[in-house]
Amino acid sequence: MFVNILPVTVVVPVKNEEKNLAKCLSCLTGFAQVVVVDSESTDATTKIARQMGVQVVSFRWNGQFPKKRNWYLRNYLVKTPWVLFIDADEYISDVFKVELAQAITDTPYVGFWLRYQNHFLGKPLNHNDDFRKLALFRPEAGEYEYINDQAWSGLDMEVHEHPILKGPTGTIKTLIRHEDFKGMRAYIDRHNHYSSWEARRYMSFLTENAKEWSTFIFRQKIKYYLMDTWFLGPLFFIYSFFFKLGFLDGKRGFIFSLCKAMYFLQIKIKIEELRDISDLNDAK
């Protein structure tokens, strides 16, 4: 068991996460502080957090900026040199904590990209597309990017927004386990919300000539170049299933790649729908 106290505040944004939260929090020993930021959960989420001795902060989104992560950064003083954002379906190991402790010691970096191993249909995916997030950083180095989100999806937390940091970033190589125990229904419902958000952001990006293009990482630029075509879904399937060796994960690898391809197809269809609605409104 990891026994050293890491100078990190772990923030776990949640809403109705009773199926995942206890396991997530049980992995977070050894950190200076753990905070659960709850969006008016109606299940046992907050009860579980308090029973495990974790501070609970209540959040209600007003439909405008900031969303949950930035709201916490702006309204609560982070007393540690580092802040780590972990979702309730992400589980870290002692090996990760050891590497983290080494990484943040006398480092020139102001943030670190974290790498994740997806679990899908109850088992780990050993191949397929890489999953990583910039989720560990110094709180004074920046915050999640500003997007003029007009409640596009109803989701009150930054999902696709990246932190914009002033300074260099590194990478922690030890994988974080990413497994949602709420099943495929929740997975599909969540990605339906995500695709609505992506479509509306894309349309906003076109009409407002968004300045955030300069902050996009390479993957984001490729995605936005291809988002308004019918090719992004099929190309992602080929990339994930063949080039990233997803076929070695068998049936689960095929279904995962297919679901992600369908996700990009949903985005394109919703862009077409929004464009048709806009054309009808202009014609009136």
Tokens of 207: 């009409």
Length reported for the chain: 284
CA-CA distances (angstroms) from residue 88 to 23, 124, 205? 8, 17, 30
Domain locations in the chain as residue ranges: 6-181, 184-283
Domain at 6-181: CATH code: 3.90.550.10
Q: For the chain, how far is it from start to end, CA to CA, in angstroms? A: 66
| DSSP bridge partners of 113 | 134, 171
For 283, the token pair is 């014609």
Tokens at 228, concatenated: 């308004």
Q: pLDDT by residue for the chain (284 residues), tens digit each?
A: 555 799 999 999 999 999 999 999 999 999 999 999 999 999 999 999 999 999 999 999 988 889 999 999 999 999 999 999 999 999 999 999 999 999 999 999 999 999 999 999 989 999 977 789 999 999 999 999 888 787 787 788 888 888 999 999 999 999 999 998 898 999 999 999 999 999 998 888 777 656 666 667 778 888 888 999 999 999 999 999 999 999 999 999 999 999 999 999 999 999 999 998 876 666 66
Measure the CA–CA gap between 165 and 180, rounded to whole angstroms. Answer: 29
Q: What percent of the chain is helix, strand and coil (3-state, nearest 5)?
A: 45, 20, 35
Interior CA angle at 111 toward 16 and 145, to 5°? 60
Q: Which long-range contacts (CB under 8 A, 24 or more apart) does 117-120 make?
A: 117/175, 117/176, 117/177, 117/178, 118/178, 118/179, 118/256, 119/177, 119/178, 119/179, 119/180, 120/252, 120/255, 120/256
User: Do 83 and 9 touch, CB atoms closer than 8 A?
Assistant: yes
Give pLDDT, residue 149.
80
pLDDT of residue 49: 97
CA–CA separation, 246 and 258 (whole Å): 11
- Position 216 scores a pLDDT of 74
SS3 label, residue 234: helix
238 and 222 in contact (C-beta within 8 Å)?
no
- pTM of model > 0.95: no
Residue 174 one-letter amino acid:
T
Note the pLDDT of residue 257: 95
pLDDT at residue number 221 = 83
